[in-house]
Every structure is written in structure tokens, then in C-alpha cells.
């Protein structure tokens, strides 16, 4: 990847992508004792940086010898919206394969941006299912396939984020934190920084449940993960791109993994304190700051917020995962003593005044007097957990702590 191709992409995108703002977060700057800046790619028309790579790819293609001006892609969200809008702007047709499990809101947005230029094929239960069918369809019809990240023109388009950051911030940037999924954004932006700002330390960030780039860099070859947690859907891939890996192994200074629960905490924090709506992948770069707290003190730090396509139906799950990570949400299987007033005693003598019951369900609907109950508690502080357990023991209450028993938790608590 060379700088000239990224500058050429910048020229193509001049009237298409938004020059998103770079603004200082006073809250996080005070918290970390550093100057923390956000590059707000959630401000793009499609609410993510994906329009950059998609449009640059399509605008650089030659359709003069083709009868049908049609492209094909597979996506579970942001890439589909970028391709859809690019097709509409360039007068192309697009067939977009998405998993049948894709939320209706995302499907609606793809049609909104693509209008009559695109059609959607809902295939399979996973992205891999949709991807396989998209490749098959493209080959059978000899239509070009627009890869979401493993493509030089897509990488060049994403790299324009880096050019904008350096234009907007004329001082020395000490640290750059960016999310890593398939590696398109990381490859493009790191190419820019290694050539134009070589002293900047570039930190890639992945969710703990999908460490495909981290594992690949450790092995010094691309590793395909057998299983991933897809919660941070914008950055959860089983295998990074071939070209992306070749670039990132030379340009990234470090890779960090962030627990999904911590990502959720940051999503809520950004909404409550910064009035910014981000998707989980968009919060990754900020969630990683804690791990570099001592290093970044007194430094200029830029975090790329990659997107803001957060589905409101996920809010409860995001809150739940955040509370788990913070040590405030706990589930118990409790067998109350078989005597009158046992539940009343539990409420009065075991729970504190600031502890809340958020879930209560008897295991059996009949014979409730003898049935154990699953109880979810939101505690006032993480330290309350040991106090709570001791009080239950002192009051001869039999219990199992479900947070540490994944099998029982999955069987008894329907929250994830």
C-alpha cells in the first residue's frame, strides 16, 4: 500500500465523504491526564467510515466493457450501507447478501441509502453463510465482488481517515488508537501514519472474543479462529484479510484486547457524558485507554470512533454486560428455608438499602413454597458481593452463585 493511492482516494471522496470532526474530550482528558481527541467517523452519512472504502473501490472500477453495471457484496451492516450509497451515487446496481438474522432496522437503512439501486438477499444465519452465497452468485454471473476489507482500493479509501487526522491536528500525535476487525481501517490509516507521522505509536484494538489480528501477529501468519463472540459485530471476524495482515504486521506498534463488558461500559459512558451514540466497535479505541493509562499521561492521543450504527434494541443487553463487567450485576439460585416469612427475611436482613432485585423467577410454577428461585441483583458496589454471600450463609440460606457457573447461568437466565 502506498501513500499515492490513498491521496488519490482522498480526491475521489472529496464530494462524497464527510470530513468528520476531530474534537477534544474534556472528560477523558481530565480522567487520564492527557489530551484525548476523538475522530468522529460516526458523523458520516452512513454513520461509519465504510463509505470511504466502498466508494473508492466502486469509483475506481472500469465498467465500460460490461453490459451489466452490477456489483455484489456481503455484509451484516456498515459495509452494506456504504456499498448501497455508493451504488446510488455512481449509477450502479448492487446485490447485497446479508444474514437472515440481520435486524430490520439495518435492512431498512441499506434500502434507504441504495434506493432502487440495490436489492438484498437474506441468506443463512451468519455472515459466513451470506459471504459464501455472495461469492457464488458473483462468480456465476461474472459480477465484481466488493470485499469489505481485503482489497487495496478499499484499504486506500479507509486510509483517508489518517490524512484527515493529520491535517486537522498539526501538532505531534503521540498515540493513535484504532479498532481492528478485518483490518481495512487499520491497514489504511497505519500506512499514512508510518510515512507522515512515524513517531506516533499506533495501537490496534480488538474485542477479547474475536482476537483474530492479535493471534495472527503472535503466530506471524494469518490465523482463522474456530469460534468468535459476535457481540462487537463491527470488529468480530474469524480471519483478517491477507493484504491487511501483511500491512499491519509492519505498521502496528501494539495490539490490545478489550473485554466486551468494558466496551459496553464505554458505550454507555459516551452516551451519558459526551452525548455521542456509538456502536460497540466504535467504542473499542476508547475502551483500550485504561490499559495504557500510565504511558499516555501528558501525551496527545487520538481515538478513532469508527461508527455509530447502534441498534436501540440492544440497549438492555449492553447495560447488562456493562454491569457484569463492573461487578454490579449478580445472579443467584436460592433455596429459601421452608418456613413462613423466609423471603421477607431475605429482603429485610440480607439485601442492603441500595441493592435492587432486577430479576426474580421461581424454577417451578407450581409448589413455589419448595421451589428454588433465580434472583438477579444489582448491587450498590462490587464490594457488596462478599457481604451479601456472608449474610446468606449467616441466615442459613442455600445458594449457588450463577455468574461463575456458565452452564447453569445459560440454562436459568435468559439475558444474552
> Is 306 considered catalytic here?
yes
Which residue among the candidates 39, 190, 306, 329 is catalytic per the annotation? 306
Tell me how far apart the alpha carbons of residues 268 and 280 are, in angstroms, rounded to a whole number. 10
What single DSSP character describes residue 66? -
Tell me how far apart the alpha carbons of residues 179 and 325 are, in angstroms, rounded to a whole number. 20
CB 44 within 8 A of CB 157: no
For residue 177, what are the CA distances in angstroms to 283, 303, 308, 335? 11, 5, 17, 48
Tell me how far apart the alpha carbons of residues 167 and 150 are, in angstroms, rounded to a whole number. 26
CB 275 within 8 A of CB 9: no
> Is 14 considered catalytic here?
no
Backbone torsion region of residue 289, taken as left when φ is above 0, otherwise alpha when ψ lies between -120 and 50, otherwise beta: alpha
CB 376 within 8 A of CB 357: yes
Tell me how far apart the alpha carbons of residues 17 and 2 are, in angstroms, rounded to a whole number. 21
Which residue among the candidates 17, 25, 39, 50 is catalytic per the annotation? 50
Tell me how far apart the alpha carbons of residues 286 and 270 are, in angstroms, rounded to a whole number. 9
SS3 call for 84: helix
Tell me how far apart the alpha carbons of residues 207 and 186 are, in angstroms, rounded to a whole number. 15
- 416 by Cβ neighbours in 10 Å (0-12 / 13-18 / 19+) ranks as exposed
The alpha carbon torsion through 315, 410, 181, 80 (nearest 10 deg) reads -60
Q: Give bridge partners of residue 95 from the DSSP assignment.
A: 72, 119
Long-range Cβ pairs for the range 337-346 (8 Å, 24+): 337/396, 337/397, 338/369, 338/370, 345/395, 346/392, 346/395, 346/397
What single DSSP character describes residue 33? T
Q: Give bridge partners of residue 334 from the DSSP assignment.
A: 373, 399
Q: Which residues are catalytic?
A: 50, 306
Amino acid at each position: 500500500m502506498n501513500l499515492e493511492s490513498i491521496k488519490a482516494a482522498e480526491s475521489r471522496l472529496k464530494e462524497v465523504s464527510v470530513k468528520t470532526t476531530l474534537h477534544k474530550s474534556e472528560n477523558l482528558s481530565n480522567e487520564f491526564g492527557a489530551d484525548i481527541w476523538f475522530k468522529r467517523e460516526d458523523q458520516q452519512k452512513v454513520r461509519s467510515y465504510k463509505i470511504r472504502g466502498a466508494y473508492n473501490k466502486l469509483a475506481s472500477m472500469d465498467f465500460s466493457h460490461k453490459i451489466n453495471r452490477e456489483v455484489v457484496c456481503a455484509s451484516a451492516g456498515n459495509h452494506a450501507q456504504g456499498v448501497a450509497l455508493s451504488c446510488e451515487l455512481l449509477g450502479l446496481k448492487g446485490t447485497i447478501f446479508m444474514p437472515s438474522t440481520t435486524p430490520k432496522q439495518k435492512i431498512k437503512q441499506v434500502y434507504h441509502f441504495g434506493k432502487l439501486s440495490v436489492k438484498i438477499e437474506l441468506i443463512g444465519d451468519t455472515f459466513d453463510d451470506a459471504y459464501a452465497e455472495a461469492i457464488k452468485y458473483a462468480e456465476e454471473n461474472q459480477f465484481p465482488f466488493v470485499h469489505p476489507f481485503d482489497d487495496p482500493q478499499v484499504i486506500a479509501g479507509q486510509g483517508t481517515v489518517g490524512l484527515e487526522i493529520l491535517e486537522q491536528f498539526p501538532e505531534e500525535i503521540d498515540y493513535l488508537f484504532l479498532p481492528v476487525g478485518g483490518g481495512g481501517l487499520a491497514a489504511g490509516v497505519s500506512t499514512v501514519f508510518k510515512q507522515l507521522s512515524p513517531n506516533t505509536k499506533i495501537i490496534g484494538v480488538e474485542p477479547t472474543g474475536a482476537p483474530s489480528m492479535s493471534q495472527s501477529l503472535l503466530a506471524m501468519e494469518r490465523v482463522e479462529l474456530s469460534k468468535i463472540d459476535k457481540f462487537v459485530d463491527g470488529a468480530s471476524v474469524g480471519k483478517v484479510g491477507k493484504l491487511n495482515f501483511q500491512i499491519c504486521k509492519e505498521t502496528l506498534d501494539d495490539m490490545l484486547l478489550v473485554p466486551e463488558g468494558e466496551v459496553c461500559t464505554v458505550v454507555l459512558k459516551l452516551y451519558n457524558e459526551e452525548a455521542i451514540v456509538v456502536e460497540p466497535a466504535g467504542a473499542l479505541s476508547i475502551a483500550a485507554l485504561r490499559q495504557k493509562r500510565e504511558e499516555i499521561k501528558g501525551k496527545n492521543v487520538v481515538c478513532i470512533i469508527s461508527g455509530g450504527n447502534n441498534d436501540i434494541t440492544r440497549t438492555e443487553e449492553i447495560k447488562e454486560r456493562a454491569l457484569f463487567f463492573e461487578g454490579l450485576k449478580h445472579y443467584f439460585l436460592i433455596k429459601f428455608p421452608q418456613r413462613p416469612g423466609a423471603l421477607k427475611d431475605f429482603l429485610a436482613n440480607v439485601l442492603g438499602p441500595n441493592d435492587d432485585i432486577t430479576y426474580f423467577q421461581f424454577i417451578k410454577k407450581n409448589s413455589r413454597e419448595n421451589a428454588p428461585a433465580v434472583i438477579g441483583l444489582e448491587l450498590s458496589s462490587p464490594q457488596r458481593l462478599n457481604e451479601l454471600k456472608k449474610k446468606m450463609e449467616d441466615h442459613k440460606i442455600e445458594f449457588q452463585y450463577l455468574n461463575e457457573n456458565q452452564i447453569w447461568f445459560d440454562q436459568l437466565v435468559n439475558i444474552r
